[in-house]
Amino acid sequence: MAGANTRTSLLLYAASVLRPDTFPAEAAHKLLREKANHWRVKNWPGPIARYIVEAASEEEVGPKTAYRNSDQAEPTAHSWQFAFYKLLKSSAASANGMGTLEGEFQSLLNVKGSEYLAGIKFFYFLRLEEFSLARYWSSKRSGPQLT
């Protein structure tokens, strides 16, 4: 089971950053703060909620992205998901947030030569709502096409 059922709250947070007119940022943060205090938040993707509300550091969440019995340095869907939310958090705090986000999304979303999306791993990402959301958002923005 997802950590304290944070999936919906995280997606609402993403909406508040990517399309501020769809969901208020204050409400998204309130939901995440509530989730961050739940006892099940230790389960994935709960640690991301704690990171966004600054109840956990990047160094605390990073090791939790590794799958059981795997090398922590190996990119996984969890590490991609954490990178996605780190980008959202940094762009929300930046004066040039959307400009920064567009450039960084390009490298996170490009499939060719990606350390995250190589080979069959790509199919795992099709199930991640964040991956689809980021691809859709990027496709609606100006700039080079994703490959």
Write down the pTM of the prediction.
0.83
Model pLDDT, residue 75: 74
Selected residue with higher pLDDT from 85 and 2: 85
pLDDT at position 9 over 90 = yes
**Spatial separation of the C-alpha atoms in residues 78 and 129, rounded to whole Å:** 12
Query: What does the pLDDT look like over 92-143, one tens digit per residue?
Result: 887 666 777 777 877 777 766 676 666 667 777 778 888 888 888 887 775 5
Query: What does the pLDDT look like over 16-47, one tens digit per residue?
Result: 998 889 999 999 999 999 988 888 888 889 99
Is the separation of the CB atoms in 6 and 35 below 8 Å? yes
Q: What is the dihedral of CA 34, 129, 42, 16, to 10 degrees?
A: -30
